[in-house]
Amino acid sequence: MKIRLATRASRLALWQTEHVAALLQKAGFDTEIVPMQTTGDAVQDRSLAKIGAKGVFTQELEESLLRGDTHLAVHSAKDVQSSIPRELELLAFLEREQVNDVVLSFDEKFSLDKPGIVLGTSSTRRKAQLRRFYPHAETAEARGNLQTRLRKLEEGQFDALVLAFAGVHRMGYEHLVRHTLHTAQFVPATGQGSIAIECAADLDTDLKVRLKAALDHADTHTCLAAERAFLHTMEGGCSIPSFALATLDGGRLRLHAGLISLSGEEYVEEIQTADTAAEAVALGVRVADTVLARGGREILASIREHRG
Ligand SMILES: NCc1[nH]cc(CCC(=O)O)c1CC(=O)O
């Protein structure tokens, strides 16, 4: 059987989809890759927070699933909204890649400690974390796919770029990494480093089971369930500077998550654990409720006010 895979057309998205296709072929499926442009690809001159709409990198792919044009949509898990339409289902999460952010520069002597440096990023989370943990650094908008952002770096629009290591590794840009941002402080976004596989909820049940068996990584799925439950309870779209990282250590699930104000001044973080994977969603909800109660609600209100 030939499985049609919906994907964005960026190089990173195509790499990820080819990886999915290879796993499916190993399991005996034929595959066809169907690239498409999303709103997030088309609109390059505004920050994602300003485009505002949720699902800017996923909507066109989801529409293709709903029309029955494709069987699976391949997303960066980070780009998938915290709640998806009832007619769709997140079937699988691929094994997570190293999850942290990194700083890239063409300057081999680049140092984050140098006063007045300008760091390119288009993420509200990264901007807020940089303001808090690297207050001497300035930030500049860096929209576009990885190749576009690297071109902007090469042109000198900023001194360095802050990116997810996962994408940097997949595209072979590790030689430009000058600094690793450790996850204990610079906690990544929900889903970072994993690839999410979405399908129509009414896809044939047996087919779903076989596709899931070929693609899903159970531990990653558990971690993502906790992170996504956190995000869902925070009511955060991709433009809210929340962070969440779940890890499994000998069956014990640990979730480190929180919220940061745009200025970086207000910061609420929480680390809680659960004894079994079955409690992943409950853990995410519990951590979010705690963060909201400990000042998160006020941070969310001020972010909404700021947006007008
Ligand atoms: N929103 C863009 C996006 N979505 C996923 C990745 C990286 C790959 C990943 O996290 O799996 C990136 C680029 C970045 O944040 O540097």
Smallest CA separation from ligand 1 atom 9, residue: 193
Judged by DSSP in three states, 72 sits in: strand
| Cα(92) to centroid(ligand 1), Å | 18
Considering only CA atoms, which of 17, 19, 16, 22 is closest in space to residue 5?
17
Is 53 a residue whose pLDDT tops 80? no
Backbone angles phi, psi at 4, to 5 degrees: -95, 125
Residues 167, 191: contact at Cβ < 8 Å?
no
The model's pTM:
0.95
Structure tokens at 237: 């779209």
Lowest mean pLDDT among 14-23, 133-142, 229-238, 297-306: 229-238
55 lines ligand 1 (CB under 6 A): no
Smallest CA separation from ligand 1 atom 15, residue: 164
Residues 299, 242: contact at Cβ < 8 Å?
no
Read off the pLDDT of residues 13-34 as tens digits, 9 standing for 90 and up. Answer: 999 999 999 999 999 999 999 9
User: Which residues are tagged catalytic?
Assistant: 79
Q: How far is CA 223 from CA 140, 188, 219, 254, 300, in A?
A: 32, 13, 6, 9, 24
Ligand 1 pocket test, pick from 7, 10, 11, 12 with the greatest ligand atom count within 8 Å of Cβ, gives 12
188 lines ligand 1 (CB under 6 A): no
Read off the pLDDT of residues 150-159 as tens digits, 9 standing for 90 and up. Answer: 999 999 999 9
What's the mean per-residue pLDDT of the chain? 94
| For the CA of 163, the nearest atom of ligand 1 | 16
ipTM (interface predicted TM): 0.91
pLDDT, average across residues 243-251: 94
Q: Around Cβ 1, how many Cβ atoms within 10 Å? A: 11
pLDDT, average across residues 167-191: 97
126 lines ligand 1 (CB under 6 A): no
Helical axes 205-215 vs 11-26, angle rounded to 10°: 110
Residues 161, 127: contact at Cβ < 8 Å?
no
pLDDT for the residue 303: 87
Read off the pLDDT of residues 80-123 as tens digits, 9 standing for 90 and up. Answer: 999 999 999 999 999 999 999 999 999 999 999 999 999 999 89
Cα within 13 Å of Cα(235), Cβ side: 9
For 112-122, give one letter per residue: b (16+ CB within 10 A) or e: beeeebebbbb
Instruction: Place 125 in a pLDDT band, splitting at 50, 70 and 90.
Output: very high
pLDDT for the residue 308: 57
| Cα(1) to centroid(ligand 1), Å | 31
pLDDT, average across residues 288-307: 92
| Cα(289) to centroid(ligand 1), Å | 27
| Cα(38) to centroid(ligand 1), Å | 15
Pairing of strands 101-104, 160-164: antiparallel
Residue 34 CA to residue 72 CA, distance in Å, equals 10
| For the CA of 57, the nearest atom of ligand 1 | 1
pLDDT for the residue 105: 98
Instruction: Place 209 in a pLDDT band, splitting at 50, 70 and 90.
Output: very high
Structural domains in the chain? 1-94+194-216 (3.40.190.10), 101-181 (3.40.190.10), 218-308 (3.30.160.40)
For 29-48, give one letter per residue: b (16+ CB within 10 A) or e: bebebbebebebbeeeeebb
Instruction: Place 49 in a pLDDT band, splitting at 50, 70 and 90.
Output: low
The DSSP element (H or E) to which 267 belongs, if any, is strand 267-274
142 lines ligand 1 (CB under 6 A): no
Is 295 a residue whose pLDDT tops 80? yes
Is 145 a residue whose pLDDT tops 80? yes
